[in-house]
């Protein structure tokens, strides 16, 4: 970074209302348990502090990576040569009022789902077991079993990359399959979710069925990012990968799951390069066999060969 490094870190520390560190590994903060160090780490503990931090980063023209619960990213072994803005447990929590819940972006999706179910509030129970935080779920419009998080979204708030405020009601946000283009450049800090009243016992049984189904069908023993690829139109990514004969294929410490071929697992201290090589191999073999170009759901962060 072509700036006064010490002054930049000092300035961040003064306004962050939270931890600021240099050169810390990112692997522990991702579900893959993979990733090199970040040049600067900042973890604000309030929405207002997020805005102040963004203003400084924007003015300094320093590369920015926003990391939530780390469930949908593969971070380079070389790390991130810029600022990692962490919005995890440092910016989590919720407040329920009637049918609404105001939820901070770093809140784990499963946590707010469980609380909604306990309160007899329907809308998220089909998404039970989807890893990650609320902010990331909104950015990619996370969903399962025909239900997406957009269906319970009433409003989203946060900041643009220059630190200016962002606020939008649901009718101003376009959602698509695993995407929310209107939120692509927004650092989400909170959302208002709106539920429907239902029977708590029925919701709990439905949620537990979903969790049991996931445990049966998905490989949860080893670290992964969940589904590596989006579902191609007219196909299932996992089925294409399996039919291409790639189930169980391994590069270094990374392996295509034998249980569900849509998952690449970290089975033996895999490097990001191992996972990336396996992703490229899958894309090549599936295209050669079926003429289908798989689209990645996992986000690659940093430098890859």
Active site residue 178: yes
41 three-class SS:
strand
Q: How far apart are CA 166 and CA 178, in angstroms?
A: 21
Q: What are phi and psi of 136, to 5 degrees?
A: -65, -35
Active site residue 151: no
Q: Which residues contact 198 (CB under 8 A, 6 or more apart)?
A: 120, 121, 122
- Looking at 47, 89, 150, 297, which residue is catalytic? 297
Judge whether 139 and 183 are in contact, CB under 8 Å.
Answer: yes
- Looking at 78, 178, 194, 296, which residue is catalytic? 178
- Let me know if 293 is exposed, middle or buried by CB neighbors in 10 A (0-12, 13-18, 19+): exposed
Q: How far apart are CA 31 and CA 191, in angstroms?
A: 23
CA distances to 42, 228, 262, 281, 291 from 297, rounded to whole Å, are 26, 5, 11, 16, 19
Q: Which of 154, 124, 159 is nearest to 142 (CA)?
A: 124
- Looking at 224, 227, 231, 283, which residue is catalytic? 227
Active site residue 227: yes
Q: Are strands 100-104 and 186-194 parallel, antiparallel or unpaired?
A: antiparallel
- Let me know if 91 is exposed, middle or buried by CB neighbors in 10 A (0-12, 13-18, 19+): buried
Structure tokens at 36: 């090199």
- Let me know if 213 is exposed, middle or buried by CB neighbors in 10 A (0-12, 13-18, 19+): middle
Q: What positions carry a catalytic annotation?
A: 178, 227, 297
């Amino acid at each position: 970074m072509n700036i006064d490094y010490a002054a930049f870190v000092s300035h961040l520390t003064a306004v962050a209302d939270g931890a600021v560190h240099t050169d810390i590994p990112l692997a522990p903060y991702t579900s893959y348990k993979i990733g090199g160090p970040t040049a600067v780490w900042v973890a604000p503990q309030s929405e207002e502090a997020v805005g102040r931090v963004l203003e400084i980063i924007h003015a300094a023209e320093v590369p920015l990576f926003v990391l939530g619960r780390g469930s949908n990213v593969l971070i380079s072994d070389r790390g991130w040569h810029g600022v990692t803005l962490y919005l995890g447990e440092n910016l989590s929590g919720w407040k329920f009022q009637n049918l609404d819940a105001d939820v901070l972006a770093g809140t784990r999706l499963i946590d707010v789902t469980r609380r909604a179910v306990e309160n007899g509030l329907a809308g998220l129970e089909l998404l039970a077991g989807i890893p990650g935080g609320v902010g990331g779920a909104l950015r990619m419009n996370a969903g399962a079993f025909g239900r997406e998080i957009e269906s319970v979204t009433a409003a989203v708030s946060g900041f643009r990359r220059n630190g200016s405020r962002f606020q939008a009601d649901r009718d101003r946000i376009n959602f698509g399959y695993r995407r929310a283009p209107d939120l692509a450049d927004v650092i989400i800090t909170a959302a208002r979710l709106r539920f429907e009243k239902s029977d708590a016992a029925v919701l709990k049984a439905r949620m537990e069925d979903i969790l049991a189904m996931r445990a049966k069908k998905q490989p949860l023993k080893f670290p992964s990012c969940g589904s590596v690829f989006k579902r191609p139109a007219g196909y299932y990514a996992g089925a294409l990968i399996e039919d291409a004969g790639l189930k169980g294929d391994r590069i270094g410490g990374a392996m295509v799951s034998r249980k569900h071929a849509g998952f690449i697992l970290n089975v033996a201290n895999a490097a990001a390069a191992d996972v990336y090589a396996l992703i490229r191999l899958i894309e090549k073999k599936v295209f050669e066999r079926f003429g289908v170009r798989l689209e990645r759901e996992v986000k690659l962060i940093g430098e890859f060969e």
